Every structure is written in C-alpha cells, then in structure tokens.
Amino acid sequence: MNFKKFTRHQGFGASIFMGVFYAVAMLVIFLIGYTAIPGEMDQLKIAIVNEDAGESGAQISEQLSESLPFKIETDYSHDNALQKLEDNDISLLIHIPETFSANAQNGESAEINYTVNEASATMVASSMSSIVNEVNKQLSASFSTQTAQGILMNMNVPEEQAAAMAEQIENAYVGNYVIMNDVPDGMHNTMLPMFLTMVSYVGAMIAAMQLVQVYKHHRGKESRFKLFGYVQLSALLIAVLSTIAALITAYIITDLDTAVMLKVAGQQVLLYMAAFNVCAIFTFLIGEAGMIINIPILLSQTIANGATIPREMMYGYFEVASYITPMYYSVNAYLATMFGSTDASPFIWGLAAVGVGALLINLLIVTVLHKKEPKPRSIIQ
C-alpha cells in the first residue's frame, strides 16, 4: 500500500480535521476567555468595615472607596464580611479596628487588617496581594505623615512636636495581611482542584466515545435499555479505578491531606459520572462526531470552572457554562473540601444535578431516537 492509498482512508481526513479544529477552537476559546483579565477586575467586590471611633477611619474608608477600582461594600459587619469572604462572595476584607485613630494619635501601633481567602480563584488571591501592598504604601506615605499631623495640630499640639509625633506614627503604622484558608505553598497544590477535575473529565470524555460505540455495536443483540445500563455500570467501574489511581498520584506529589481523601474520592467518582453523561449526550446523538462538540465544551470549562477566573469576571457565555457543566461545581467543591473554604454541599448537589440531568437526557435519547432496533447481524462478531 502506498502513501496515496493510505491517505484515502477516512481516518486520515478526520485526523487532519481534528488537528485544525482543535487548534482553532482552543485558541479562540482561551484567548477570548482570558481577555477578562484585567478588563473585568472591576466586577470583583471588596468589603471595607470601619469600626474606628475617630475620624481617621472614616477618611481612609472614603479614600479607598474612591480610589480602588472595585465594587465597594461598606454596609457589612465584621462577622458578616468574614462569612462573605469565606463564601467567596467578596474578594478582600479591609478591616479598620475601632482603636485605629486613638492609637495613631497616641503614637501607638495603628493597624489595618487585610484578609484574603486563598481557597478561591488563583487570579483573585494574587491580585488582592498586590492591591494590599499598594494600599499599604499609600497609607504609610500619606496618612501617617499628612493626616496624622493635621489631627495632632487640631488638638493644639505645637507644629514641631506634631511633626515629630507624625514621624513616629508613620513608623508605627501596620497593615496586616491575613490569609483565610491557607493553601500549601506551590502551584501544584493551588491548582490541584482544577487538575483533578481535568483528568477526570478528559478520561470520561474518551470513555463516553468508546463505551457508546460498544453500545451501538451490540444493538440488536440485547435490549437497548439493558445495554444502556451496561454502559453506566462500565463508566462507574472506570470512575472508581481512575479515582484510586488519581488520588494515589496526587497524594504522592502534593500535600493532599489524608483526612479528606475519602471525601475527595467520593467527589471524584461523582464528577466522573457527571462528566461521562454530559459527554455521552452528543456521542449518543451523532456518534464519534460528537467529539467535535465535546472538545469546545471541554475547553470552555477550562475558563468557566472558576479555578483561575471567578464567576463575577466571566463573560456571559462562560458564566452560563459554569451553571450547566460539571467543572465549576467540581473545582469549588474541591476547594471547600481540601482547603476549608465555604461549605462544599451546594457545589456537590449542583454537580449531582448536572449529572442526573445529563443521565436523563441520555435515557431520553435512547428511548426516543434509538427506538428502532437494527437488524441482527448474520455473522457472529
């Protein structure tokens, strides 16, 4: 067989198509999706809680509200703001204690606390760290030397003495960077929720293509509903085996806590089954060509899963995808379970709902579109 004859096989043309299609789809989805950084940063919310009994706290709160390019919330109590941060409803909590003005005037340590939830989208945690550093520089330079001096002079303190005390206050100002739900050092730990999600989803997508082909190969030999049950049972078996392999690998390489291994294992199996049925929808409909649809859906979820960009910053298409596909629920459930963020239950229920919905759609396809059974094959295969 020469090369020309080899290229006439449909697999040759299909491989060329998939190579070009994958490259174009990946670049279009990724490049458009990541233009949200930093363009949509102003969609993030920051809470400023001012408990200061003096004037300084109000001045700082007003200055920050005007200068920071975010949605500023100032109506929360400290406890309420902490819960909002825990649930990733806000990205940064700036807390001005009630003794701030008094400490500044007395030359004592005047502190402002900046709290960030590390168990969130990586872009949020890194961006908030940079914001805190910049705010601290500005406050150290402006408030400590100018505002403090003005306050002291208003208290009838001599100008020279006020300047000396202001210098003392400048050195006493402290901006505390507080981490909520600390994630172990290393990008491999930070990205573990996304990586576990990705490996499960990709494996499920490939299995969906293969197992549905087995289902179609045996149609006419057994009831389509019995074969559908075999497909689901096979997927469940693969889910358990792949979960064991994935978690052993993750445990060896990362700082995955043994105390959460069982919970993570359950979530991983649930994710696999949800992903399998989502991918199987298009394979049941149009066979192997369903990969043409499944690949863009997979790529879209690398943006919409919330590991890098929070839902507030996503463009409309990706935000919608985060509600109806498995990855967003999986990543956030892992963040909650592994690193102690918000309650994982809503995300697990969301993942289960997506999986059950996809399962019912597949069952409907088998019931309605596969109603006519193929004629039995004359040759035993």
The DSSP 8-state label assigned to residue 219 in this structure reads: B
What type of residue sits at position 303? I
pTM reported for the whole predicted model = 0.76
Query: What is the pLDDT at residue 171?
Result: 53
pLDDT tens per residue across span 8-26: 656 566 656 756 765 676 5
Query: What is the pLDDT at residue 275?
Result: 93
How far apart, in whole angstroms, are the C-alpha atoms of residue 189 and residue 246?
14
* Bridge partners, residue 222, by sequence: 219
Query: What is the pLDDT at residue 379?
Result: 44
R_g of the chain, CA atoms, integer Å: 28
Nearest CA to 253 among 341, 187, 204, 183?
187
Sites in the chain below the pLDDT cut of 50: 147-148, 152, 378-381
Q: Locate 328 and state its tokens.
A: 């967003």
Using DSSP, state whether 117 is helix, strand or coil: strand
Query: What is the pLDDT at residue 164?
Result: 59
Query: What is the pLDDT at residue 355?
Result: 96
b (16+ CB within 10 A) / e for 139-164 = beeebbbebbbebbeeeebeeeebbe
Nearest CA to 178 among 246, 134, 125?
125
Query: What is the pLDDT at residue 99?
Result: 84
Query: What is the pLDDT at residue 6?
Result: 52
Query: What is the pLDDT at residue 190?
Result: 78
Query: What is the pLDDT at residue 149?
Result: 56
Q: Locate 3 and state its tokens.
A: 């090369």
Q: Locate 370 and state its tokens.
A: 């596969």
- Reply yes or no: is the peptide bond before residue 376 cis, omega within 30 of 0: no
Tell me where in the chain the CATH 3.40.1710.10 domain(s) lie: 44-180
Using DSSP, state whether 12 is helix, strand or coil: helix
For residue 57, the tally of other CB atoms under 10 A from its CB is 23
Residue 313 vs residues 9, 34, 304, 316: alpha-carbon distances, Å: 45, 10, 10, 9
CATH number of 44-180: 3.40.1710.10
Query: What is the pLDDT at residue 380?
Result: 44
Q: Locate 333 and state its tokens.
A: 């459930």
Query: What is the pLDDT at residue 298?
Result: 92
